[in-house]
Amino acid sequence: MTQSGKNNIQKEGLKAPIIRIGVVHWIKANLFNGVFNSILTIVTLFLLYKVIPPFARWAFIDSLWFSSAEQCRAGSGACWSIIPANIRFILFGFYPHELHWRPFVAMIMLIGLLLYSKNRNHWNRSFGYIWIAGLSIMGILMKGGLFGLTPVDSDQWGGLPLTLMLSFFGMFAAYPLGVLLALGRRSQMPAVKTICILYIELIRGVPLISLLFMSAVLFPLFFPEGVTVNKIIRAQAAIILFTAAYIAEVVRGGLQAITRGQYEAAESLGLNYVQKMRLIVLPQALKIVIPPSVGILISAFKDTSLVVIIALYDVLKTTKSVLASPSWMGFSPEAYLFVALIYFVCCYSMSNYSRRLEKELQT
Amino acid sequence: MKLSKLWLLVMAVVVALSGAAFAGQTLDNVKAKGFVQVGVNGELFGFGKPDEKGVWRGLDVDTGRAIAVAVFGDANKIKFIPLTAVQRFTALQSGEIDVLCRNATQTLGRDTELGLDFAQVNYYDGQGFLVPKKLKIKRAKKLDGATVCVLPGTTTELNVADYFRLHKMKMKPVVIENTAELAKAFFAGRCDVLTSDASQLAGTRAVAPKPDDYIILPDIISKEPLAPAVRHGDNQWKDIVTYAVLAMIEAEELGINSKNVDEQLKSANPIVQRFLGVSPGNGKALGLDEKWAYNIVKQVGNYGEIFERNVGKNTPLKLQRGLNALWKNGGLMYSPPFK
Amino acid sequence: MKKGNPVISTEDAAQRAAWINDPKIRAILYQIAVLGIVGLLGYYLFSNTVENLKRQSIATGFGFLNKEASFEIGESLIPYSAADKYIKALLVGALNTIKVAFIGIILTVCLGTFLGIARLSKNWLVSKLAAVYIEVMQDIPILLQLFFWYSFFYDILPSPREAIEPLNGVFMSNRGLVFAVPEWHPAHPYMAMAFVAGCIGVYFMRRWARKRQERTGQIFPVFTLSLGIMIGLPLTIWLLAGAPHKMNVPELVGFNFTGGLNMSPEFGALLIGLVLYTAAFVAEIVRAGIQAIGKGQTEAAMAIGLKPGQVLSLVILPQALRVIIPPLTSQMLNLTKNSSLAVAIGFPDFVSVASTTINQTGQAIEGISLIMVVYLCFSLLTSLFMNWYNKKMALVER
């Protein structure tokens, strides 16, 4: 700072104020303040120069967007054609081809609901009903069987709707379980407490993949002869059991943040345990844990990609399936970048929102 | 009390979501459900893989369709469930699927210890090696020290380990549980040799950037009879699966295909009449509609047709019939008489 | 409860009410109910499982561990062949998991700290680049990143015959990274011993230097001297032994490189993927930790005349570490658990070997229980170690 200030005075004399607010000053202050920073800037710029132009050339200049696989192999750039040629399978998997509008509409509805929920003014009593109504309409759209819609079995769900369902439904279903576990962990009753701690720590200690293996291979053995449960629902159950343990820890943090006075005040009013929790403690605790809960939703959303390993056709698996067909073999960077973009857009908007919310709730 | 009520509710939901599948009466159960659940590979081009519209294609898939046709007379009353190698046998044992058509090799151990029964072989395979020409290797015995690409958890993985041990050679396996990724790794030179069932090697070679750069070694180190599998102990269901496959073979031998099957109904040949159900008997014996074989040929085709459609000369796999030709043409496909 | 006897009836009712309302007794009842439900559920699942296993005649028990595995494993820290038993194959897998987790954690902490500091850099370009990196990496599933790196690894790099040699004795090909290591020499164990001795010496020297500083206020050049001792001692031994400099240089023999040390693409892709992903989270933790230390601390430290390096090592880090360590622990655990995704790209870690075992033996319950137990142990060990370290750091607080 002092150096650049001196330079300004020497070189520019009285014109300093213009320089101070100009682009040049900004560059000086932020990129070339001091020897070390200048070297850092130059090295970084050099590295960017080495990386970005070739990448841009590959991705945009030499690339093909709507060609056949053969044309792609002849070219040297990126072959984005793999995406438009297979987009419907990547996004919707085995859902009957002519009915693709239904998951499409359901997804649009979900995005609409999420956008609607962004505004906290909408969070009131009818808010829950709107969500329940929205989710049921989405369910009906996906499943069919009512209002003259052709029934589509959940076996045939795939692609992005499956990813969204596994993560969002997993989150919603895991929340009550997580709250129960958190309450249990903070309970005075040793047996309940032990069971909850055991459950939470056990689940948090093992990788999700072991639970998914369990859902794929062991769950069928747990049920009596003759009862079978759909693979997707089993994986969903594993994700719920897994997410609940993490939610429990987040909620526990919220419960711990409620001061003792609140508990005591509730007790002195003569409220029983359920009333105390439902009316006094949980409303405050759950409000505190909204931002970290969004964090859990993000990781649940990313973690659903693990169902690839048990051969469920989520959006990553459908992409890999496209890459397994002889004509499109070898264009994996393009396909993976596309899927990465989908995940990035979803997660980035969620985490951005969670950060904003955190600020709003703090003030 | 509240919790136990909740538990009852959960159980009710679980039961509502699940279908009942009682072992021993697979046929009744399938009929009650209204569709056959078939476990397939999902990634193996030519045997079981969805196309870009999400429609299942492949030899194993068509075998599954033939079973659905035999039971319901409708090739669409079927659900395909993609399974990984780890899941495939448990899925069958637990009743999640009714029949497994997932290029599974029939072995004594699987037939006994795993509680499975293998029905009629629908593809005779054998394990071989695919190598780049530039390595100048002509025989498998020269592969000492090679890095070998192999699918994990398969008989292939065990066979290749056995083979290298038998010939006192060293190997370094690279295992990837995805056929496409494995092939890609091989073409990129991640390994020196790719080992798999010969049918798959041909397919893999066909999709290579330059197929002529690779050769399949003449050594076949194992027998791999690939057959649909059913749960042990349900003989009626096993019969249906067995004869659904055999019907396609018999149809080819009789010269009946999906195009001429309607004319063949008028055939004076008593064998053909019995086969197509013009003179009844076979259907009742199996507990199926008398037209079951006719429907299979009409809707799915004979064995030659499904072979050519999925893996034959005009597909990227370009497989020869080889062992899978009819016995009359020097192959192993042989059907007992339909009477 | 007879009618027409009001006195007893009210007493009776009061007693009963008191009994049912006694919080202690209620608590016991609730606990019995919960235990009962959990027990019943457990029994229900257990009996179903036993019944199913019997009906499907699936073998049970851990007897399979002593059977011959008869499959090969790509890389192993201990000698292993297909003729070995399952238990040894599983051990190989567990060691591979430890290997990748250990190296991964060290690299992640280094890269994450670097990125966290870069994020706070006054250089706009560096700070923004770090921010973009952190955001992008956090928002893409680790599995997808692993797939990407693995395909990148063998798509970009050439085959061994056309291997790139960026440095003398280092070869990069789609078979992985091979580099030269010094050939075995009898002086090596002595060098190692000298290094250990140097470390012990340094430890005591630091204690002595701190005490001296507390007593006299004189600063002893600890860092330079420690470095000198730790490098100098082994170096002296090496020179005394006649400076053996023969290298075990990798050579292309037949199919592959022999000699040198090899890092396979599977291991490389897994390590790169895990490190790049987890480092983004660690960077955020480090940033938050440093930012949690008020600006006043830095200014005060500068005011009493500490050099920038001393400000960092004596004032900022000891305080920041206390904020950093607990979330860092959970990131380390995440890395260890995420290493189980190796199964998707073919690195023979514990899950990968165990799933092959399940597949060959058909004993899924045993296999999956093994996976869970092993990861629980890893998690427990890591958190025990980090708790110990956390306590040690917390002592600094006084």
What is the least distance, in Å, from the CA of C356 to any CA of chain A? 12
- Cβ neighbors of A206 (< 8 A, separation 6 or more) are C337, C371, C372, C375, C376, C379
Residue C395's pLDDT is: 53
Q: Under a CB-based contact definition with an 8 Å cutoff, are residues C105 and C330 in contact?
A: no
In terms of phi and psi (left: phi > 0; alpha: psi -120 to 50; beta: otherwise), the region of C329 is alpha
Q: Is the pLDDT of residue B67 over 90?
A: yes
- When comparing pLDDT for C379 and C170, which is higher? C379
CA-based nearest residue in chain B for residue A230: B18
Say what percent of chain A tops pLDDT 70: 92
Strands B229-231 and B116-118: antiparallel
Confidence of residue C17 (pLDDT cuts 50, 70, 90): low
**B50–A94: do the CB atoms touch at under 8 Å?**
yes
**Is A342 a member of any domain?**
no
Give CA–CA dist C140/C158, Å, rounded: 28
Q: What is d(CA B230, CA B235) in angstroms, rounded to the nearest whole number?
A: 9
Burial letters for B146-156: b for 16+ Cβ neighbours within 10 Å, e otherwise?
A: bbbbbbbbbbb
Q: In this structure, is residue A188 part of a structural domain?
A: yes
Q: How confident is the model at residue B22 (pLDDT cuts 50, 70, 90)?
A: very low
- How many Å from the N-terminal Cα to the C-terminal Cα in chain C? 67
Q: Do the domain assignments include residue A21?
A: yes
Tell me what pLDDT residue B16 has: 42
CB-based contact A301:A346 (threshold 8 Å):
yes
Mean pLDDT of chain C: 81
Cα–Cα distance, B310 to B57 (Å, whole number): 7
Question: Does B290 score more than 60 pLDDT?
Answer: yes
Q: What is the pLDDT of residues B248-280, one digit of tens each?
A: 999 999 999 999 999 998 888 999 999 998 888
Q: What is the spatial distance between Cα A182 and Cα A190, in angstroms, rounded to a whole number?
A: 14
Residue of C nearest to A41 (CA): C125
The rounded distance, in Å, linking the Cα atoms of C82 and C356 is 13
- What is the percentage of chain A residues whose pLDDT exceeds 90? 6
Beta strands in B114-187 (DSSP E): 116-118, 123-125, 127-132, 146-150, 171-175
Strands B56-57 and B229-231: unpaired
Burial profile C360-394: b = 16 or more Cβ within 10 angstroms, e = fewer: bbbbbbbbbbbbbebbbebbeebbeebeeebeebe
Q: Which residue has the higher pLDDT, C382 or B100?
A: B100
Q: Are strands B193-197 and B146-150 parallel, antiparallel or unpaired?
A: parallel
DSSP one-letter code for B34: T
| Cα B102–Cα B22–Cα A154 angle in degrees, nearest 5 | 60
Spatial distance between the Cα atoms of B162 and B174, rounded to a whole number of angstroms: 16
Give the 3-state secondary structure of residue B335. Answer: coil
CATH code (residue A303): 1.10.3720.10
The three-class DSSP label of residue B169 is coil
Q: How far is CA C50 from CA A97, A220, B93, C87, in A?
A: 43, 12, 14, 24
What is the Cα Rg of chain C in Å?
A: 30
Structural tokens at position A215:
């859902």
CA C319, CA C313: separation in Å to the nearest integer? 10
Provide the CA C45 distance to its chain's centre, in angstroms: 34
Instruction: State residue C215's pLDDT score.
Output: 81
| Alpha carbons B313 and B305: distance in angstroms, whole number | 11
Tell me what pLDDT residue A363 has: 53
Q: Report how many domains make up chain A.
A: 3
Tokens of B112: 């006994």
**Superfamily in which the B8-124+226-321 domain is placed by CATH:** Periplasmic binding protein-like II (3.40.190.10)
Element (H, E) at B61: helix B59-72
- Residue B215, φ and ψ in degrees, nearest 5: -130, 150
What integer is the mean pLDDT of A173-194? 87
- Interchain contact, C37 vs B158, CB within 8 Å: no
Average pLDDT over residues C287-307: 84
- The answer to whether C141 contacts A343, with C-beta atoms less than 8 Å apart, is yes
Q: What is the extent of the structural domain holding A130?
A: 97-151
What gap in Å lies between CA A329 and CA A320, rounded to an integer?
Answer: 10
C352 in Cβ contact with C346 (< 8 Å): yes
pLDDT at B139: 87
Residue in A with minimal Cα distance to B46? A325
Q: Is the pLDDT at A17 greater than 60, yes or no?
A: no
- What mean pLDDT do residues B29-51 have? 86
Sequence letter at residue C296 = G
**Distance in angstroms (rounded) separating the CA atoms of residues A241 and A211:** 9
Among residues B20, B24, B21, B68, which one has the least CA distance to residue B236?
B24
ipTM confidence? 0.84
Of B7-16, B41-50, B110-119, C257-266, minimum mean pLDDT range:
B7-16
If you average pLDDT over every residue of chain B, what do you get? Answer: 84
| Number of Cβ within a 10 Å radius of residue C61 | 9
What does R_g of chain A's alpha carbons equal in angstroms? Answer: 27
Residue B99 pLDDT level (bands cut at 50, 70, 90): very high
A232 and A138 in one domain? Answer: no
Give the pLDDT band of residue B303 (cuts 50, 70, 90): very high
C158 Cα to chain B: minimum distance (Å): 8
**B260 by DSSP, 3-state: which?**
coil
b/e for A27-60, b at 16 or more Cβ within 10 A? ebebbbbeeebeebbeebeeeeeeeeeeeeeeee
Model confidence at C234, pLDDT cuts 50, 70, 90, reads confident
The residue that leads in pLDDT, B108 or B123, is: B123
CA–CA separation, C143 and C145 (whole Å): 5
Q: Are residues A169 and A212 in the same domain?
A: yes
Residue C384 in tokens:
């025990």
φ/ψ bin of B332: left (φ > 0), alpha (ψ from -120 to 50), beta (otherwise): alpha
| Residue among A135, A164, A204 at smallest CA distance from A302 | A164
Angstroms from C1 CA to nearest CA on chain B: 26
Per-residue pLDDT at B17: 43
Cite the beta strand spans of chain C per DSSP E: 164-167, 170-173, 176-179, 181-182, 247-248, 251-253, 256-258, 261-263
Q: Is some CB atom of chain C closer than 8 A to the CB atom of B14?
A: no
Task: Give the pLDDT confidence of B213-252 residue by residue, as tens digits.
Answer: 898 888 888 888 999 999 888 888 999 999 999 999 999 9
- The segment(s) of chain B belonging to CATH 3.40.190.10 are 8-124+226-321, 127-222
> Model confidence at C259, in pLDDT bands (50, 70, 90)?
low
**Residue to substitute from A169, A228, A336, interface B, most B β-carbons within 10 A:** A228
- Cα A207 from Cα C143, distance rounded (Å): 13
Same-domain pairing of A248 and A320: yes
pLDDT tens across C326-350, in order?
A: 888 888 888 999 999 988 888 888 9
Specify the DSSP class assigned to residue B208: S
Any residues with CB less than 8 A from the CB of C331 and at least 6 apart, and which? Answer: C108, C112, C278, C281, C282, C285
CA distances from B210 to A75, B132, C152, C266 (A): 16, 10, 20, 25
Q: How many CB atoms lie within 10 A of CB B337?
A: 8
> Across the interface, do B89 and C72 touch by the CB < 8 Å criterion?
no
- Burial class of residue B283 (count of CB atoms within 10 Å of its CB; 0-12, 13-18, 19+): middle
Among B165, B175, B231, most C C-beta atoms within 10 A, so best to mutate, is B175
- Inter-chain touch A229–B17, beta carbons under 8 Å: yes
How close A330 gets to chain B, by Cα (Å)?
Answer: 7
Q: Report yes or no: A305 and A271 within 8 Å, Cβ to Cβ.
A: no
Question: For A33, which residue in chain C has the nearest alpha carbon?
Answer: C123
Residues 47-106 on B with a CB inside 8 Å of A are: 49-55, 79, 81-84, 86-87, 90-91, 93-96
User: Does residue C222 contact residue C205 with C-beta atoms inside 8 Å?
Assistant: yes
Backbone angles phi, psi at A294, to 5 degrees: -60, -40
Q: Give the model confidence (pLDDT) of A125-175 as tens digits.
A: 777 788 888 888 888 888 777 776 777 777 778 888 888 888 888 888 888
Mean pLDDT of the A5-23 span: 54
pLDDT single digits (tens) B156-170: 888 898 899 888 888
- What backbone torsions phi and psi does residue B154 show, to the nearest 5 degrees? -120, 170
Residue C398 has pLDDT above 60, yes or no: no
The 10s digit of each residue's pLDDT in C144-195 is 999 888 877 776 677 777 777 777 777 777 777 777 777 777 777 888 888 8
Beta carbons of C367 and B173 less than 8 angstroms apart: no
Residue scoring higher pLDDT (A304 or A10): A304
Instruction: Mean pLDDT check: name the lowest of A228-232, B142-146, C7-11, C205-209.
Output: C7-11
Report the pLDDT value the prediction gives residue A269, as an integer from 0 to 100.
Answer: 85
Which of A112-121, A247-256, C102-111 is predicted most confidently?
C102-111
Asked if pLDDT for residue C9 goes beyond 90, the answer is: no
Q: Residue B302 — very low, low, confident or very high, per pLDDT cuts 50/70/90?
A: very high
| Run of H or E including B197 | strand B193-197
Q: Which of C154, C81, C116, C130 is nearest to C331 (CA)?
A: C116
Q: Please state the rounded mean pLDDT for residues C20-42.
A: 82
Partners of C68 in the β-ladder: C85
- E-only strand ranges, chain A: 227-228
User: What is the reported pLDDT for B2?
Assistant: 43
Same domain for A216 and A274, yes or no, is yes
Q: Round to whole Å and give the CA distance between C264 and B190.
A: 10
CATH of domain B127-222: 3.40.190.10
Of B43, B50, B95, the CB nearest to A228: B95
Residue A121 in domain: yes
Burial A315-351, CB ≥16 within 10 A → b, else e: bbbbbbbbbbbbbbbbbbbbbbbbbbebbbebbbebb
pLDDT at residue A286, as a whole number: 81
Q: Does B190 touch chain C (CB under 8 A)?
A: yes
- For residue B3, is pLDDT > 60? no
Give the model's confidence band at B100: pLDDT under 50 very low, under 70 low, under 90 confident, else very high: very high
Q: Is the pLDDT of residue B173 over 60?
A: yes
Query: What is the number of alpha carbons within 13 Å of residue A305 lying toward its C-beta?
Result: 26
pLDDT at residue number C394: 64
| Reported CATH class of domain C86-152+265-395 | mainly alpha
Q: Which residue has the higher pLDDT, C247 or A204?
A: A204
A123 and A162 inside one domain? no
Residues 6+ apart with CB under 8 A from C78: C88, C91, C92, C95
More reliable by pLDDT, A174 or C237 = A174
